[in-house]
Amino acid sequence: MQDESRKNAAPSQSAFAGFADFYRRGPYAACVSDHRRIGSGGAAIIRALQAEGEYPDVATPSFWLGLKQQGVGGHVVDVGSGRWRGLCRPGDLVLVPPGTATDFRQEVAAGFLYLELPAPCSDEDYPADFRSLHDRPFRDPLVESCCERLWTVAGRSPDADLMFSDALLQTILHALKDRSSAASLTLPSRTPLSPLRLRRCIDYMHAHLDEPLGLAALAASCGTPVSVFPHAFKAATGLAPHRYLVTLRLDRARWLMAGSADGLADIALACGFASQEHFTRHFTRRFGTSPGAFRRALA
């Protein structure tokens, strides 16, 4: 398979039901050597052989876990918490939360086992994501062993050993939860958003300045978990997302006051402020003068 195919943009999330569906029907279908359904919840497991190259993945509704089984070489990995570069070996795991676009670049051909995790990941027993486990590849012999055992069990028949498969899946989920809880006690400083993710987020802010924008929408705009987005954004820009957004709104308001005859109340609403008073408070705090005084100085 030619590397040029890895440089194409991945299709939109809406085209696929989940990660397994994306891998089976998307641009990497030729990489899939086999796929199986497992457990009573219909989780999916895929074995893939991937040539050297770039593998951007679309955001899907699924949690998915990647286990490297073959190949030792350099990788660049971004699963929503910033870019990580290093050596990946068989046994390394990568965990991606729902709604997160990812970007992988591998310097050698490699074999992977991909597990699309079942619905219990979204229950209240599990975190919205597994925090530090999204920062970089990690190793867990218990999770690795369970993934390989699941592949073997699933190969017997579609409905073979459902209770055993469900038990293995629950063991994986509990192991990930325990590992993330322990790791969160000593989390490293957050990696900044990659330039591409940051550009996507800022472009989204500019396009929606007149709308209420929460952290969930901003994180989704650049395919980043909500739990790490504020830290990663601040590490990249030096400002919290809300403060950066207010700065963009004030800059647009100042441009409108200088280049249009619109009233201050209309400008405030067009720039996403809740009211003229809300706009005036932020404008005065930043520029040391009121919007009215600023406009009069331009006359």
CATH number at residue 17: 2.60.120.10
Query: In this structure, are 28 and 115 located in the same domain?
Result: yes
- How far apart are the two ends of the chain, measured CA to CA in Å? 64
d(CA 252, CA 234): 21
296 pLDDT more than 80:
yes
Give the domain range for residue 138: 3-186
Is residue 264 located within the same domain as residue 175?
A: no
Claim to verify: residue 162 and residue 201 sit in the same structural domain: no
**Are 63 and 96 found together in one domain?**
yes
Of 164, 186, 208, the one marking the end of a domain is: 186
Strand partners, 112: 48, 68
> Which residues have CB under 8 Å from 224's CB, separation 6+?
80, 81, 100, 193, 197, 201, 232
pLDDT at residue 186, as a whole number: 44
Final residue of a domain: which of 161, 186, 211? 186
**pLDDT for 76:** 82
Residue 163 has pLDDT above 90, yes or no: no
Looking at the predicted structure, is the pLDDT value of residue 51 above 60? yes
User: According to the model, what pLDDT value does residue 146 have?
Assistant: 86
Whether 144 and 262 share a structural domain: no
Domain count, the chain: 2
In this prediction, residue 107 carries a pLDDT of 85
Of the listed ranges 16-20, 71-75, 221-225, the least confidently predicted one is: 16-20
User: For residue 152, what are its two tokens?
Assistant: 């073997």
> Mean pLDDT, the chain, as a whole number?
80
Same domain flag for 149 and 274: no
Q: Residues 97-123: pLDDT tens digits?
A: 777 778 888 888 888 999 987 544 444
pLDDT at 161 over 60: yes
Residue 31 has pLDDT above 90, yes or no: no
| Same-domain pairing of 20 and 72 | yes
Nearest to 103 by CA among 241, 222, 227: 222
Q: What is the pLDDT of residues 229-249, one digit of tens each?
A: 888 888 888 888 998 999 899
78/228 Cα distance (integer angstroms): 13
Answer whether residue 184 shows pLDDT above 80: no
Q: What is the pLDDT of residue 118?
A: 58
Mean pLDDT for the stretch of residues 34-62: 82
Q: Does the pLDDT value for residue 228 go beyond 90?
A: no
Q: Which residue, chain included where needed, has tokens 């709604």?
A: 99
Best-predicted range by mean pLDDT (161-175, 189-203, 260-274): 260-274
Mean pLDDT for 262-272 is 94
Q: Are residues 290 and 216 in the same domain?
A: yes
CATH of the domain at 235: 1.10.10.60
Whether residue 18 is predicted with pLDDT greater than 90 in this model: the reply is no
Give the DSSP letter string of 160-205: TTHHHHHHHHHHHHHHHHHHHHHHGGGPPPPPPPPHHHHHHHHHHH
**Residues 160 and 260 reside in one and the same domain:** no
pLDDT, average across residues 210-223: 90
Q: Report which of residues 179 and 47 the model is more confident about.
A: 47
Domain identity same for 238 and 109: no
Same-domain pairing of 169 and 216: no
Single residue among 166, 186, 206 that ends a domain in this structure = 186
Q: Are residues 209 and 161 in the same domain?
A: no
Closest residue by Cα to residue 94 from 58, 46, 144: 144
Q: What percent of the chain has pLDDT over 70?
A: 83
